Each structure stands twice: as C-alpha cells, then as structure tokens.
C-alpha cells in the first residue's frame, strides 16, 4: 500500500470537533467574523447581514461560502432582509467567480444539519463550487486526494479584487 502524506489536513481534522459544534462559541463562521485579518481568514466580503468566505479546504479552486452574519442553523429562520442579502451575495459571488476564474459551471447548495453533510452544524451557509470540464480526475477515486490548481492566497487576491471592483449591494 502506498502512503500519501497530507499533513495540512490535520488542521481540519483536529479542529472538526469545535467547528462541528452547534454552539455559537465554537462556530467557525462566528469566530471568523470576530477576527480582524480578512486575508488570513479568507473573508472576501463583509456585508451588514451576510458575508463571503473562501473554503480553506475546498472541493475545487474558488470554492466559497456565503453565510449570514447572525448565528442560525437554518435558512428558514432568516429575516427577509437577511435572506435578501444572503442571496444577493450568492448572485454577486457567482458573477465574481465567472469574471475571475471563468468556470464552465457551478455547484450551488446548502447542507443543513449533520445528516445532510454539514461541516458547520449550527451556522447555515451556501456553498458555491466552480466547475470546469475535466476537473474531476482519477486522484479522488484512486488516491482519495483532491488536486487544487492554485494556492488559496493567490485565488483570494484574484477574488478580493473582483469583490472590491464589483457593484456593492
């Protein structure tokens, strides 16, 4: 058997207990919002009621998440204003990703609750994953490894410029 070392995954595995907690104190998104360094925390845009953050453990290059500022586990508990801003940021994120990365398609969705596959249980969020023809190859199937074609900080810089230059909501 061959061994493929991926020590950077330890951060995800060891932090999973806290990130998977439904409590606000241990919430990944709430803790990111408290932090001051947006680049270090991969926050691309902060709105009044919602924000956009890159996924530190992406399924594909440019994988972002849009979440409400308020800690809530489900989308149906959002106020009309929160819902409007959240989905306006989903639309804006799609436009930014199209301009910056030129994907051929997207997966957009929310995993609400542990059994639905949510990695952050108590804070609802929407995933946006850019897709390209041929972006799925043998690595995930044979080596259980995903190949990301660009470093997170390079993608962050490209997307952040686009968010700054795109129309604010």
Q: Which residues are catalytic?
A: 125
Q: What is the DSSP letter of 83?
A: H
In this structure, the number of other CB atoms found within 10 A of the CB of residue 41 comes to 17
Sorted by sequence, the CB contacts under 8 Å of residue 124 that are 6+ apart come out as 67, 68, 72, 73, 74, 75, 78, 110, 112
SS (H, E, C) 92-159: HHHHHHHHHHCCCEEEEECCCCHHHCCCCCCCCCEEEEEECCCCCCHHHHHHCCCCCCCCHHHHHHHH
Task: Give residue 50's Cα distance to chain centre.
Answer: 13
């Amino acid at each position: 058997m061959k061994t493929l070392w991926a020590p950077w995954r330890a951060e995800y595995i060891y932090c999973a207990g806290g990130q998977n907690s439904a409590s606000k104190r241990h919430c990944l998104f709430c803790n990111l919002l408290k932090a001051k360094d947006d680049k270090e925390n991969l926050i691309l845009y902060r709105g009044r009621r919602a924000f956009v953050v890159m996924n530190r453990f992406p399924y594909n290059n440019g994988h972002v998440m849009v979440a409400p500022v308020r800690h809530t586990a489900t989308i149906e508990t959002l106020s009309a204003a929160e819902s409007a801003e959240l989905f306006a940021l989903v639309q804006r994120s799609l436009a930014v990703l199209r301009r910056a990365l030129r994907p051929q398609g997207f997966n957009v969705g929310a995993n609400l609750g542990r059994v639905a596959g949510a990695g952050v249980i108590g804070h609802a969020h929407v995933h946006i994953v850019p897709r390209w023809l041929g972006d799925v190859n043998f690595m995930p199937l044979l080596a259980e490894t995903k190949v990301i074609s660009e470093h997170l900080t390079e993608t962050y810089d490209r997307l952040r410029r686009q968010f700054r230059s795109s129309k604010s909501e």
